[in-house]
């Protein structure tokens, strides 16, 4: 494994800042949460204050992670010099209303692996070849810090989440080598997998039943989609984060190239999640105002729910008309 040091963290923070703020994206996933907590756990013994922010609640399945209670969902800058790390976040819109306030801090370090990253930082460390932000954080942290069990656990959650437990095509030899180093620190993959993927409340499975009932295809059966709205969530006492991963049921059908999940909120916003087997879906998401990776991307659209669905299906259909 190449032993590069992509960012000299110790010299970056050495004595120059009173406060360190770590931010990650709304609707946080394991990579967002794990990367942020790995960094927070590493930096917390320094002489700066360290705070962690996410504009949404952290799903309860991550509550076993060390430091998860540090997360705050609203941000006000403190008096004094502030350094912000923004992790796993392709653009500042993904920080909701925290985005503008972040820009007022003294330095912004943007660490990410999205190909659509808008490079909004003073320092931009973007590696689209990394399977997760956790992988980049491992490279940074292992250079200067002792990777104890707590930090290793956070990194493992980040890395295993964004690779679908090491099965997506973004998984590389480097991903596996980093995972091996983390296992040497005492991480138990079975325990982590159980915590994140195998402890659903029954309400999530009933929600899945309704989501599957909405499954539809285009005429070619290359595109499949499911739709859920806030009313359905309320019916099951479920939260939006319970929908994570549902899109894979559409994508995993044999004939399907692109699976799409539509989540319609009460205020006429539709959150769209894309998963693809072979075509580049990030470009479609980006053209609709969102972003992501070639095989996993998303966007949020406003408007009449049915019109949004038509527009998105049309955009995806275009992918198969080219060439
Ligand atoms: P999801 O379907 O929500 O799991 O998202 C899949 C990928 O698309 C993740 O890498 C997200 O970071 C990205 N993504 C989802 N929604 C958006 C959005 N509104 N803007 C930019 N990127 C997004
Ligand atoms: Mn993420
Ligand atoms: Mn990620």
Residue 196 phi, psi dihedral angles, 5° rounding:
-85, -40
Which ligand 1 atom minimizes the distance to the CA of 91? Answer: 21
Closest residue (by CA) to atom 16 of ligand 1? 298
Which ligand 1 atom minimizes the distance to the CA of 88? Answer: 12
Closest residue (by CA) to atom 11 of ligand 1? 292
β pairing state of 296-302 and 269-276: antiparallel
Ligand at minimal distance from the CA of 131 is 3
Q: Is 259 in the pocket of ligand 1 (CB under 6 A)?
A: no
Ligand at minimal distance from the CA of 291 is 1
- What's the pTM value of the predicted model, to 2 decimals? 0.95
Residue 122 and residue 138 in contact, taking contact as beta carbons nearer than 8 Å:
no
Q: How many CB atoms lie within 10 A of CB 53?
A: 21
Buried b (16+ CB within 10 A) or exposed e, 2-36: eeeeebebeebbeeebebbbbbbbbbbbbbbbbbb
As a dihedral over the C-alpha atoms of residue 299, residue 167, residue 279, residue 216, rounded to 10 degrees, the angle is -70
Per-residue pLDDT of the chain (323 residues; tens, 9 = 90+): 656 778 889 888 886 899 999 999 999 999 999 999 999 999 998 778 999 999 999 999 999 999 999 999 999 999 999 999 999 999 999 999 999 999 999 999 999 999 999 999 999 999 999 999 999 999 999 998 999 999 999 999 999 999 999 999 999 999 999 999 999 999 999 999 999 999 999 999 999 999 999 999 999 999 999 999 999 999 999 999 999 999 999 999 999 999 999 999 999 999 999 999 999 999 999 999 999 999 999 999 999 999 999 999 999 999 998 65
């Amino acid at each position: 494994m190449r032993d590069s040091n992509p960012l000299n963290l110790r010299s970056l923070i050495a004595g120059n800042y009173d406060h360190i703020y770590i931010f990650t994206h709304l609707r946080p996933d394991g990579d967002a949460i794990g990367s942020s907590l790995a960094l927070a756990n590493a930096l917390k013994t320094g002489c700066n204050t360290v705070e962690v922010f996410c504009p949404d609640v952290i799903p309860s399945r991550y509550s076993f992670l060390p430091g998860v209670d540090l997360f705050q969902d609203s941000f006000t800058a403190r008096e004094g010099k502030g350094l912000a790390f923004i992790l796993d976040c392709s653009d500042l819109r993904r920080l909701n209303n925290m985005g503008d306030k972040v820009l007022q801090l003294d330095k912004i370090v943007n660490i990410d692996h999205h190909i659509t990253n808008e490079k909004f930082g003073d320092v931009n460390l973007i590696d689209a070849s990394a399977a997760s932000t956790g992988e980049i954080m491992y490279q940074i942290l292992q250079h200067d810090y002792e990777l104890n069990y707590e930090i290793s656990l956070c990194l493992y959650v980040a890395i295993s989440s964004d690779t679908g437990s090491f099965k997506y095509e973004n998984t590389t030899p480097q991903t596996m080598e980093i995972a091996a180093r983390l296992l040497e620190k005492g991480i138990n993959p079975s325990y982590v997998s159980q915590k994140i993927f195998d402890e659903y409340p029954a309400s999530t499975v009933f929600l899945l039943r309704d989501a599957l009932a909405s499954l539809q295809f285009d005429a070619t059966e290359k595109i499949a989609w499911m739709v859920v709205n806030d009313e359905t969530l309320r019916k099951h006492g479920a939260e939006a984060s319970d929908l994570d991963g549902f899109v894979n049921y559409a994508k995993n059908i044999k004939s399907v190239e692109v699976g799409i999940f539509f989540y319609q909120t009460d205020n006429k916003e539709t959150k769209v999640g894309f998963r693809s087997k072979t075509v580049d879906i990030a470009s479609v998401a980006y053209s609709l105002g969102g972003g992501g990776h070639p095989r996993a991307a998303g966007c949020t659209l406003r408007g009449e729910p049915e019109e949004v669905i038509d527009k998105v299906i049309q955009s995806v259909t275009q992918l198969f008309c080219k060439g």
